[in-house]
Structure 1
Amino acid sequence: MADWHFFHGNGKQLKGVEEKFKKLEPPPWRRFSKIEDIPSDERSEVRWNQLMKLAEENDRNRRRGENFRISDNAIDIINAVNAAIYLRRPLLVTGKPGSGKTSLAYAIAHELNLGPVLSWAITARSTLQEGLYRYDALARLQDVQQNEKQDIGKYITLGALGTAFLPSVLPRVLLIDEIDKSDINLPNDLLNIFEEGEFPIQELVRRAKSGENNNSADNGEFIVETQDRDIDVEIKQGRVRCYSFPIIVMTSNGERDFPPAFKRRCIRVKMPNPQESALKAIVKAHFQDEKKLFQDAEAKINQLIKEFLSDKDKNTERATDQLLNTIYLLTRDVCPESEADQKSVKEILLKSLTSND
């Protein structure tokens, strides 16, 4: 039997993933558009090559994906990601702060070579409209007043959510970060686009229906900006409809519950706290350019990992990046020398996230 995995969680880019995606048939109830609906430049891989270049240029996000490691007890995470890919469903990932929820999205994009992650950070003021697109009516009014006639598409920029649903052969990775911070209505507002795989840009729909053509809007075709830097796309008849459903990672710290209608449309999984073996792998991945560090300070690093985990039975919440910060400071050539100073630094950097001090 062929390996069903797309995602393995080991930070390695596997060959043949692109062809595997192209052969993957969606469930009958999760088909959205036809291959012919993808713009010709996308089918000829022009835009995808631009995305690969953007991903390569963003060294910080690339490293986030490379350095992510799955714990030995996190088989549910790997299976949930792969199930979401096969079923074309969004992932709802819960877990404590620092458990790797956000980094999971970057790991998927890196391992499957799917270009830069589209990120939408949620606040209490976030709306569906913000995620889909922004129409700069004021700029258009100013240009009209100055007798500068421009294509209406110039004033529209797709948000992270809107960009993720552009038709493409391969899926994009979309991170909707901390969705539990949203207004109570946003999860339900997302349901329609998750189910239908499309949305209208009303300003373009009206223009297409009116039959008005200007500089680049010929036969209802408009050029708009996207969330991807310096990459514009063609929108037909003012509607965006996906071909490959995006790989959507929604993170939650568990600060609120979600409506049943929303939860049943998601693949839900909880990120476990990394154990000692996983923490060692994470540390090595983040300090992979400093191999001498493990020769000179391996015993000290192992001791810091044990101290990091020592209070886990006392409901002490700590994030993995606190451990990384501590190791970085206490293994440098220039670091606190006295035991008292080192102890103080550890207490400061490893303070529980539930502490009010």
Structure 2
Amino acid sequence: MTGRQGEVESGWRLFRGDGRDREVAFPDPPPWRRFDGTAGSARETGAPRPLPYLIGDAEADVVNAALHLRRPLLVTGRPGTGKSSLAYAVAHELRLGRVLSWHVNSRATLQDALYRYDAIGRLRETNLRRDRGEGAGGPDIGSYVRLGPLGTALVPGRRPRVLLVDELDKGDVDLPNDLLGVFEEGEFEIPELARLPEEQAAVEVLTADPRTRTEVVRGRVRCSEFPVVVITSNGERDFPPAFLRRCVRLDLPEPDEERLVEIVRAHLGEGAAPDGADELLHAFLARRGRGELATDQLLNAVFLRRGGIDLDADGLLDAVLHRLGGTV
């Protein structure tokens, strides 16, 4: 709808590219892109991940094997098969709270995942206090120690936490071996706290959870329940046998036509299929056969079609169902 000056405009063309400013009414977002605290939104699950999450019984059994064995779950599969989303699905179904995420890159280290100590910040605060004549005593060291996602996952608690180690194969070649000791022992030491005198044996430190602290005694963090660890890999590098031996492996297949229909209904509702949805599904399957496509691309296309958008106009379908591999 195009309105006169001062009126709020709505409809498909929010942005027109004509250089004129206007008041527009934004439509409701897709369910998997909500950040307002409603069901399935980022505030509820810890990330903008779609809910519910559907996999086959065989894949679910592998997940259960990892849960019973208290072993990390190593998840592989093509882009868009739901590797990362699996961690959020487990946390949601088992009511395990906010997912702790560690997104691995080439600079990631085990130390980053366990904890960080801001020694420079503490020294600066000590000097400021001295300059203000507040005495020689330094600030509380616990305010300068923050547990990382892995360190927070190992904090003892009644229920295990869910830890997502995303794209481990992008990290340094030695990183999987560095993780072995922590995964086997379920504990680690913070030397800066372990060296404190006996009267400072118990220190409250910051965690990866917002506005949350936990007590660390004599510099050691040891889990009471081994966390649910979901490790994803895009298959860019092989892992050492010692690491693989300690993981339960799950390869997520691409969903077939029947499963894709179930996923669309689960995310958009039983009556979600608009006119032309079957054509979109067949177009998606045909394009996926020629190159990599992700399931959420199909959801995007169906969501737009349900809103009355002509995806055949001006190559819009090509923009939504674009290949994920190869040259763009």
Coarse TM-score class (shorter-chain normalised): 0.7 to 0.9
Which of 47, 62, 74 is residue 80 of structure 1 equivalent to? 62
TM-score by structure 1 length? 0.75
- For 2:81, the aligned partner's letter is S
Q: Which residue of 1 aligns with 2:285?
A: 309
Contact 1:62 1:110 in 2 (8 A): no
Q: Distance in 1 between matches of 2:127 and 2:253?
A: 57
Shift of the 312–120 alpha-carbon distance from structure 1 to 2, 3 Å rule, reads same
- For 2:171, the aligned partner's letter is S
> 3-state DSSP class of the match of 1:66?
coil
Q: Distance in 2 between matches of 1:330 and 1:61?
A: 29
Equivalent residues in 2 for 1:1-357, closer than 5 Å:
58-59=43-44, 61=46, 64=49, 66-70=51-55, 74-147=56-129, 149-207=138-196, 210-211=197-198, 213=199, 217=200, 220-288=201-269, 293-294=272-273, 297=274, 299-314=275-290, 316-333=291-308, 335-336=309-310, 339-341=312-314, 344-357=315-328
> 3-state DSSP class of the match of 1:134?
strand
TM-score by structure 2 length? 0.81
- For 1:330, the aligned partner's letter is R
> 3-state DSSP class of the match of 2:98?
coil
> 3-state DSSP class of the match of 1:85?
helix
Q: CA deviation at 1:302?
A: 2.4
Q: Distance in 1 between matches of 2:45 and 2:91?
A: 13
Shift of the 143–62 alpha-carbon distance from structure 1 to 2, 3 Å rule, reads closer
After superposition, the CA RMSD in angstroms is 2.0
Q: CA deviation at 1:311?
A: 4.0
Shift of the 327–320 alpha-carbon distance from structure 1 to 2, 3 Å rule, reads same
Q: CA deviation at 1:65?
A: 5.9
| Higher RCO by CA contacts (8 Å cutoff, separation 6 or greater) | 1
Aligned pair count reads 282
Q: Distance in 2 between matches of 1:179 and 1:137?
A: 28
> Which whole-Å deviations, capped at 9, do the CAs of 1:39-74 have from their partners, x for residues lacking one?
xxxxxxxxxxxxxxxx9981364773632111xxx3
Q: CA deviation at 1:180?
A: 0.6
> Which whole-Å deviations, capped at 9, do the CAs of 1:159-179 have from their partners, x for residues lacking one?
000000111121100000000
> 3-state DSSP class of the match of 1:64?
coil
> 3-state DSSP class of the match of 1:176?
strand
> Which whole-Å deviations, capped at 9, do the CAs of 1:173-208 have from their partners, x for residues lacking one?
00000001001111000000000000001100011x
> 3-state DSSP class of the match of 1:321?
helix
Larger gyration radius, structure 1 or structure 2: 2
Q: Distance in 2 between matches of 1:287 and 1:267?
A: 32
Q: CA deviation at 1:114?
A: 0.3
Q: Distance in 1 between matches of 2:109 and 2:62?
A: 27
Runs of at least 5 residues in structure 1 that lack an aligned partner in the other structure: 1-54
Shift of the 65–235 alpha-carbon distance from structure 1 to 2, 3 Å rule, reads farther
Q: Distance in 1 between matches of 2:181 and 2:248?
A: 17
- For 1:79, the aligned partner's letter is D
Q: Distance in 1 between matches of 2:41 and 2:203?
A: 29
Runs of at least 5 residues in structure 2 that lack an aligned partner in the other structure: 1-39
Q: Distance in 2 between matches of 1:116 and 1:85?
A: 17
**More helix as a share of residues:** 1
- For 1:125, the aligned partner's letter is R
> Which whole-Å deviations, capped at 9, do the CAs of 1:210-264 have from their partners, x for residues lacking one?
33x4xxx4xx111001111111111111100011100000000111100000000
> Which whole-Å deviations, capped at 9, do the CAs of 1:96-148 have from their partners, x for residues lacking one?
11100000000000000000000000000000000000101111001111236
Contact 2:45 2:92 in 1 (8 A): no
